[in-house]
Structure 1
Amino acid sequence: MSDQNFLKSKKEQVAELRETGFVIVKGLVSETRCEAMLAVARQQLAEAAAPLEFEADLQYPGAPSSKDAPGGHTVRRLLDAYVRHALFAEWATSPDVRGWMELYFGETPYLSRAHHNCMMTKHPAYGSLTGWHRDVRYWSFERDDLVSSWLALGDEEVDNGALWFVPGSHKLPFTSDRFDDAKFFRADTPDNAALIRTAFSPKLERGDVVFFHCNTLHSAGKNLTDQVKFSLVYTYRGASNAALPGSRSASKPEIALV
């Protein structure tokens, strides 16, 4: 359904995001640009350049039990991507992203440095799966209306831990009992299980971008291949949707896309 978005205008893409909760834009970033960013990411991963988040820090299913366990220093994210390298910052604030977000929000967009703002590195063997969730579960803004961009720097499919989305879930009201104590969407109840069965996993190629709403239910499986998967992820809000003072969401300076 979304594989034809390279033929659609930004207005049509934004309309699909509003309706479905996510939209795939094919080939938005050039092969050359992706290769350059991928080379930087691989080098920084090899150097274990801080700041980092480790799989062992999160304890998601399949993660090492501690940093002292086998695979304990498997990196999950290269954090604060915006300041890690100029190539990452240039994409985050590029005309393509700025124009897209301006159309969605109808006002000046801001890049959050407190949420996402990372190079995802999903590893074979010790790369954990991510349960069903809404990103907004730990975010604190005046409104639950933010959009994330997910840039695939290589092919992404089910075998290497691609994203899954539940279409239309960003519009659904959920009571708190449908989530567990960690605010993951429970898969052990009939209503939740039925909704999860409607999920869709888009197959992405290098340079494809997924834009998705902060309330869209999504998950990601384990990487069953022998290659690390790299994805550059940022989150944006409109100028009028400020982070709540004193919250984690307000903990880092934001970047206006002007």
Structure 2
Amino acid sequence: MAQRDLTADEIRQYQQDGVVCLRNAVDPEWVEKLTAFGQYQLDHPGKLCNDGNPGTEKGRMFTDRYLWRSNDLVYQYAKESGCARLAAQAMQSQTVRFYFDHLLIKKAETTTPTPWHQDVPYWPFRGKQIASIWLALTPVTVAGSGLEFVRGSHRDDVFYLPEAFGASGEKANSWTGTGEGIPCPDIEADRKNFDIIGFDLQPGDALLFSAWTLHGSPGNQSTTQDRMAFSTRWLGDDAIWDPRPGTDPSVNPDEVRVSPGNHPDDNAIFPAFYRA
């Protein structure tokens, strides 16, 4: 399938703003296949899913992740779609390793927001070259729960304390709230004092953003359009394995053949999908 490269302007925007919108980021065939997979996954959730109001058509917020380990399509997308190269170009990294995949669905008329947060405090890594590529599988508007970002917040060098969200019942993220960091400011209550940007997307468009960039999304106000996205997470040259308390334990540190403080060069757990 076709793969694209970033333009100089797109690289500059990522470096400056901490986020860049990529139109037609991947081949349309990936969008078709991942959309069908997302619908299937709603009915066949994985062991790491979170599902609010399961089985309903309205008011449902569903996520599933780490599917590449058991699903060939997800593995092939991460390896062959060109996302690894896009992440490397944005981060100006010579290599890129894959961390995990994340399916994110908000059904129409789901009022639950995604609270403002940054990703890096949740993850067992340190480094500036850590990023996500959030691929739209359906049309997305900000009112329909599209992502918003605090422009330039990736340069603040602040760790914000992870908080649980999107969890339900026994799957509540009890590991959050115990690590380092300061509480995230109440951005929603003080929007005028933050440089907030958001994007409307068509299927195949993507948001490439730093794990340090503050972001969130409102509920899905649409009465007819579900919001479905597929995100992949990427580790660049300066990423360091750091399984500190209060980070996502989905990767078992005992299985990682890397000592804390070193680059995560374990190809079984963090496969290298790009080298310049």
What range describes the TM-score normalised by the shorter chain of this pair? Answer: 0.7 to 0.9
Kept in 2, the 8 Å contact 1:156–1:162? The answer is: yes
Unaligned runs of 5+ in 1: 1-6, 56-63
Please point out which of 133, 142, 145 is paired with 1:161. Answer: 145
Normalized against structure 1, the TM-score is what?
Answer: 0.76
- Amino-acid identity (%): 19
Give the corresponding residue for 2:261: none
1:54-93 deviation line (CA, Å, top 9, x unaligned): 23xxxxxxxx7xx8xx999945202213235322222222
Mapping for residues 1-258 of structure 1, pairs under 5 Å: 9-55=6-52, 74-94=60-80, 96-103=82-89, 104-113=91-100, 117-126=101-110, 128-173=112-157, 183-187=183-187, 193-196=191-194, 198-225=195-222, 226-245=224-243, 248=247, 251=251, 253-258=269-274
Q: Give the residue type in structure 2 aligned to 1:238.
A: G
Per-residue deviation, 1:164: 0.7
Residue 214 and residue 35 in structure 1: after superposition, are their counterparts in 2 closer, same or farther (change >3 A)? same
Superposition CA RMSD, Å? 3.2
- TM-superposed CA distance for 1:12, in Å, is 3.0
Q: Distance in 1 between matches of 2:22 and 2:15?
A: 14
Once the two structures are TM-superposed, the CA of residue 49 in structure 1 deviates from its matched residue by 4.4
Distance in 1, Cα, partners of 2:80 & 2:215: 26
Secondary structure of 1:42's counterpart equals: helix
String of CA shifts for 1:7-49, please: whole Å, max 9, x gaps.
Answer: 9844432221001110011012233321121011101212344
The Cα of 1:157 is off from its aligned counterpart by 0.2
Deviation at 1:200, TM superposition (A): 1.5
Q: Does the 8 Å CA contact 1:166/1:195 hold for their aligned counterparts?
A: no
The answer to whether the 8 Å contact 2:114/2:217 transfers is: yes
Q: Tell whether the 8 Å contact from 1:131 to 1:185 is kept in structure 2 after alignment.
A: no
Q: Counterparts of 2:115 and 2:243 in 1: how far apart (Å)? A: 29
The amino acid of 1:187's aligned partner reads I
User: Size of the alignment, in residue pairs?
Assistant: 232
C-alpha distance in structure 1 between counterparts of 2:238 and 2:244, whole Å: 17
